[in-house]
Amino acid sequence: MNKNKTILVTGCAGFIGSNFVPYFIDKYENYNVVNLDLLTYAGNLENLKEVENNPRYKFIKGDICNRELVEFIFDEYDVRGVIHFAAESHVDNSIKNPGVFVETNVNGTFTLLDVAKKKWMERPFTYYKEYQECRFHHISTDEVYGTLSDDPKDLFTEDTPYAPNSPYSASKASSDMIVRSYQETYGLNTVITNCSNNYGPKQHDEKFIPIIIRKCLTGENIPIYGDGKNIRDWLYVLDHCKGIDLVYHIGKEANVYNIGGRNERTNLQIVDAITTILDEKVPPKERIDKDSYKELIAFVEDRAGHDRRYAIDATKVENELGWKADENFDSGILKTVDWYLEKYGIVR
């Protein structure tokens, strides 16, 4: 690696990180990126083909909970910033197996923070100022705020009290609190972003939108939890990445920024949007004995503790940092469906 400033970005073999890194490396020539990823079931290096041979990118397979390894990386690469994506991220898994969520999301975040504090804050006086400016950016979720009423004026702001309902969101809420404590107690330079549901290329097969597309193409039922009227606030993944870039670079120290697309949809509306596109692009009669993919909808048992509605008030990041989503839902979902059609070898 060259003499550029190096930042440690964790969990880049997953969905958002693998969209973020190519964007970031391409935009900034003065950064090296070290990607620390354990390659759990959710990590896939295929997602990073665009950057794998870039001299400013380095992949290290390892666990964010491994303190010795994290210390080694800080020393070896002179890490001057952290953007922390790595996490267990799927709510359904957290219901079945919560332990690993606490281990990765809470202990892993703690380990990274504690090493950052040691390497940046406990330097000899002459280096102190330079390292003290190094920033730790924690990537979090709107799920920490719990669930909203159906009143459209009811939105998550940065001041909404935390009320996580799943083991996943509770582990993310805990990690947010530990980040806060390192800022308040030790003066570590931190920012937190709490974002709404992302969608786009490279999302893991377990998540709702990839499931809908895959089930249509295989002609299997599309499982809809409960009545399908739960609401999520969907944001195209690259718009989230652009928000992270802004907050990392110009967000105010010790601040939290909510990022969301002002794009609420019920789960049934999501299915409707995707099946409408697929009905046109890949007519079902070519593949399965149905007139429309909509006929595949199947209501199944609800998720335990299923949050009813999420919606972000993004005023702070819009007004303070000038962030705005570039994609609207129609354009974003079209790009997403096209990406999956190419992935499954159906190019239209």
- The catalytic residues are 142-143, 168
The burial class, CB within 10 Å (0-12 / 13-18 / 19+), for 319 is exposed
User: Smallest gap, in angstroms, from Cβ of residue 210 to ligand TDX?
Assistant: 8
One-letter identity of residue 224: I
Please list every residue from 251 through 290 that binds ligand TDX, using CB under 6 A: 267
Which one of ligand TDX, ligand NAD, none interacts with residue 42, CB within 5 to 8 A by kind?
ligand NAD
Tell me the helix, strand and coil percentages in the chain, rounded to 5. Answer: 45, 20, 35
- In angstroms, the first-to-last Cα distance of the chain is 40
DSSP at 262: S
- Which conformational region is residue 56 in: left (phi greater than 0), alpha (psi within -120 to 50 degrees), or beta? alpha
State the Cα–Cα distance between residues 240 and 19, nearest whole angstrom: 10
User: Smallest gap, in angstroms, from Cβ of residue 123 to ligand TDX?
Assistant: 34
Compute φ and ψ for 3, nearest 5 degrees. Answer: -85, 5
Which of 73/91 has CB closer to ligand TDX? 91
Binding site for ligand NAD (CB under 6 A): 10-11, 13-17, 36-40, 42-43, 63-65, 85-89, 104, 108, 139, 141, 172, 195, 197-198, 204
Rule CB under 6 A: say whether 23 interacts with ligand TDX. no
User: Shortest Cβ contact with ligand NAD: which residue?
Assistant: 14
Q: Kindly list the distances between the CA atom of residue 340 and the CA atoms of 7, 40, 41, 200, 215, in Å, as whole numbers in the listed order.
A: 31, 22, 19, 9, 12
Which one of ligand NAD, ligand TDX, none interacts with residue 245, CB within 5 to 8 A by kind?
none
Three-state SS at 174:
helix
Which one of ligand NAD, ligand TDX, none interacts with residue 182, CB within 5 to 8 A by kind?
none
Which of 101/120 has CB closer to ligand TDX? 101
State the Cα–Cα distance between residues 315 and 132, nearest whole angstrom: 29
Which one of ligand NAD, ligand TDX, none interacts with residue 15, CB within 5 to 8 A by kind?
ligand NAD
Which of 206/338 has CB closer to ligand NAD? 206
Q: Which of these, 184, 147, 149, lies nearest to 162 by C-alpha position?
A: 147
Please list every residue from 99 through 138 that binds ligand TDX, using CB under 6 A: none
Rule CB under 6 A: say whether 232 interacts with ligand TDX. yes
User: Shortest Cβ contact with ligand TDX: which residue?
Assistant: 141
Please list every residue from 187 through 216 that binds ligand TDX, using CB under 6 A: 197, 207-208, 211
Q: Which of 112, 224, 246, 278 binds ligand TDX (CB under 6 A)?
A: 224
User: Smallest gap, in angstroms, from Cβ of residue 73 to ligand NAD?
Assistant: 12
**Residues forming a β-bridge with 224:** 299
Structure tokens at 90: 């799927």
Which of 6/140 has CB closer to ligand NAD? 140
State the Cα–Cα distance between residues 221 and 121, nearest whole angstrom: 54
Which of 68/122 has CB closer to ligand NAD? 68
Residue whose structure tokens are 């969301």: 260
Rule CB under 6 A: say whether 143 interacts with ligand TDX. yes
State the Cα–Cα distance between residues 348 and 338, nearest whole angstrom: 8
Residues that bind ligand TDX (CB under 6 A): 89-91, 141, 143, 197, 207-208, 211, 223-225, 230, 232, 267, 303
